Structure 1
Amino acid sequence: MQKSRAANTVVSAASFGLVVLTPIAASADETDAKQILLNMSDYMTSAQSFEFDYDASLDVVTTDAQVLGIASSGTILVNRPDKIHARRIGGFADLEMFYDGNAFTLVGNHAGLYTQLPVTGTIDGLIDELRGSHGMPLPAADLLIENPYEVLMSDVTDVKDMGVGVISGRMCDHLAFRTPDVDWQIWISQGETPYPCRFVITTHSIDQGPQYRVDIRDWREVEDISAEKFTFQNEGAAEMIALEDYQTKVGDLPGHYQMGDSE
């Protein structure tokens, strides 16, 4: 049987040494890998105000076991401890999030709809509230909390330092980790600003191993941020609806995607 073009591509790549299937040994021990991750965490915590652009891809698995990717791009602005503004634009949705320490607002710009939750506290508290109570994780949330190292290392059973990789022209330390439910990898920029350049989560507990991947670019620390950037101003006269209605009417998936066992 003739191989598909994709299969031939993988075979060709492997023949040139571009695909490594079994990492025999890491370039540094587990202690060094943990220290690299800790340095990134300390830097992220010390950066009180920062902004970056990102490209993300989320895999979905169909009922006939085909893996399909949904791509989006966006921008995240953080002002610790209690302010965040994020925007994510995909082929089917333009979503914007505002948090000013007192209220969280989620806006569907294409749909002309928004919902608002009273949440008082910090970014960490907001992330916990959205994830735990509403099943709504923020993009790259584990990288935005006050102490990324503590959360990322929770339940880790295996640590590997994979050496050096290059992401968007930047030299990065490549680390790989395993937990009972997921494998995750991170590429951390070398030098004085060890921010995460790429973060990949593979859910090996689900058939076909779907991935979530985020590439961070144009990282910048910022100063003198106006508080207005974090508060929703309804200039487009969007309609306010309840959260449960928003989750039904606005989302990242195109209309021809259906959840669960639907065909």
Structure 2
Amino acid sequence: MVSTGMTDLFIKTGVARSLFAGVCAGFVAVAAGVVGAPGAGAAEAEALALLKGMTTYMGAQQAMSFRYDADLDVVTAEQQRLTLASSGTVSLARPGRIRATRSTGLADVETVFDGSTFTLLGKQANVYMQVPFKGTIATLVDELKDKYRRPLPAADLLLPGAYAELTEGVTDVKDLGSGVVGGVECDHLAFRKKDVDFQIWIAQGKRPYPCRYVITSKTVPGSPQYSVQLSNFKTGSAAVGQSFAFVPPPGARAISKDELKTIKSMGELPSNFVQRGTP
């Protein structure tokens, strides 16, 4: 599921290459590893065991919610690295319901999936798009990534089979000891593969959830990164926002998939970032 393709962009008058098509898609698909490779040391085995424990714990949660803060780097043609920041929330109930928000200051978007209908709401423009879709959260994640180019935050850490995905093609594994993220003591792990490196900080104790996840491209000059940090992580009956029925806001207007492309406040990138070849 690793995707490291790049998209050429203009920033006003300058050309840039960003991780939008690659590392942002790595929001829902990245990372590492040959498990149990010959010669793997005790530290590598411990790091893989910690990663396995995290994915097993996350996969066992039938309901969860969290807040997130994400940073996406963009490298301009002049080799200046810029960072786009966003925040939001995620709430899900397995197997097939999820609600997520994303705010960038320029965009305020909410996605809702109730198991049979996917809804995308642009709060600033007060418009929404709905498409019939039946399936699980896992199938929805692939649909959003591949068809709509709208990866869900930290999705590759939430899905069944996360350990296999995260440990595909690893060339190096490191256990870097402890770190503290948002006041939570974590185990800090680092993994390498051909095109990307990634690091993950996993909460210590009985709730080994991912506190921070950082992906670094090794194929783009400037080594831009995508990072996501989780907070207010809750599971089970304590999970917040467990309502997945979409109710249009007053005055909201339904739009088509074609019209969605014209609503700038619902884009993944600021309006002054224009894909190469577009006016």
**TM-score (norm: length of structure 1):** 0.83
Partner of 2:134: 120
**2:19 equivalent to 1:31:** no
Amino acid at match of 1:255: S
Partner of 1:231: 245
**2:222 equivalent to 1:175:** no
| Partner Cα distance (2:260, 2:117) in 1 | 16
Deviations 1:20-56 (A, max 9, x none): xxxxxxx952111111000000100111101111111
| Partner Cα distance (2:251, 2:167) in 1 | 43
Deviation at 1:159, TM superposition (A): 1.3
**2:91 equivalent to 1:77:** yes
Partner of 1:23: none
Deviations 1:111-161 (A, max 9, x none): 222222222110001011112233221111101212321111122222111
2:143 corresponds to which of 126, 129, 153: 129
**TM-score (norm: length of structure 2):** 0.79
**2:55 equivalent to 1:41:** yes
Partner of 2:269: 253
| Partner Cα distance (2:139, 2:216) in 1 | 26
1:66 corresponds to which of 64, 69, 80: 80
Partner of 2:200: 186
3-state SS of paired residue (2:57): helix
| Partner Cα distance (1:157, 1:106) in 2 | 38
3-state SS of paired residue (1:59): strand
Amino acid at match of 1:245: E
The correspondence of residues 84-233 of structure 1 with structure 2, limited to 5 A, is: 84-223=98-237, 229-233=243-247
Deviation at 1:198, TM superposition (A): 0.2
| Partner Cα distance (2:207, 2:50) in 1 | 12
| Partner Cα distance (1:115, 1:194) in 2 | 36
| Partner Cα distance (1:120, 1:158) in 2 | 39
Using the TM superposition, name which of 185-194 and 199-208 deviates more.
199-208
| Partner Cα distance (1:153, 1:120) in 2 | 29
3-state SS of paired residue (1:154): coil
Alpha-carbon contact 2:111-2:119 (below 8 Å) kept: yes
Partner of 2:34: none
The CA RMSD over aligned residues, in Å, is 2.3
Give the ranges of 4+ consecutive aligned residues of structure 1 lying more than 4 Å apart after TM superposition: 224-228
Deviations 1:165-216 (A, max 9, x none): 1111111001111122211110000000000000011111122111111110
Mark the structure with the bigger radius of gyration.
Answer: 1
Partner of 1:6: none
> Cα–Cα, structure 1 residues 227 and 221, in superposed 2: closer, same or farther, change >3 Å?
closer
Per residue, is there more helix in 1 or in 2? 1
| Partner Cα distance (1:50, 1:95) in 2 | 20
Alpha-carbon contact 1:55-1:74 (below 8 Å) kept: yes
Deviations 1:46-97 (A, max 9, x none): 1110111111111112232211111111110010111100011111011101
What are structure 1's unaligned runs of at least 5 residues? 1-26
> Cα–Cα, structure 1 residues 243 and 154, in superposed 2: closer, same or farther, change >3 Å?
farther
| Matched length | 238
Query: Quick one: higher RCO (CA 8 Å, sep 6+), 1 or 2?
Result: 2
Amino acid at match of 1:46: A
| Partner Cα distance (1:133, 1:145) in 2 | 19
